[in-house]
């Protein structure tokens, strides 16, 4: 029994990354820019040359329905912005 518990624990720890691999964000559909997004209509013409790769860029605006939209972008190695998160919050919750 004493040898069985560590063996089962080791097997569970080794299998955990394989089980979690199916839950990656890469499986989620990519967010598409909407009017007001930084990347709506293509990448911005100016490059973020002083920001480190992987840094977050935040944007907030009001959409056509009057809801407050918060977006998060990540700066990619080619200096483009990747939209990774969008949260839409109504100004007057019901």
Residues 16-26 pLDDT 10s: 554 444 455 55
Residue 65 φ/ψ, nearest 5 degrees: -90, 0
pTM of the model: 0.66
More confident position, 75 or 26? 75
In the chain, where the domains are located:
4-89
Give Cβ neighbours of residue 32 (< 8 Å, ≥ 6 apart). 83
Q: What is the pLDDT of residue 47?
A: 83
Q: Is the pLDDT of residue 50 over 60?
A: yes
β-strands 68-75, 56-62 pairing: antiparallel
Q: What is the pLDDT of residue 30?
A: 85
Per the rule left: phi > 0, alpha: psi between -120 and 50, beta: everything else, 74 is beta
Residue with tokens 């998060």: 72
């Amino acid at each position: 029994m004493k040898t069985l518990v560590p063996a089962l624990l080791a097997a569970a720890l080794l299998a955990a990354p394989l089980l979690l691999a199916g839950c990656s964000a890469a499986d989620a559909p990519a967010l598409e820019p909407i009017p007001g997004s930084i990347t709506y209509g293509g990448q911005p013409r100016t490059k973020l040359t002083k920001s480190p790769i992987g840094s977050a860029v935040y944007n907030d605006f009001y959409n056509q329905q009057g809801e407050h939209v918060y977006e998060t972008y990540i700066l990619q190695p080619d200096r483009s912005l990747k939209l990774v998160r969008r949260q839409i919050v109504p100004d007057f919750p019901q």
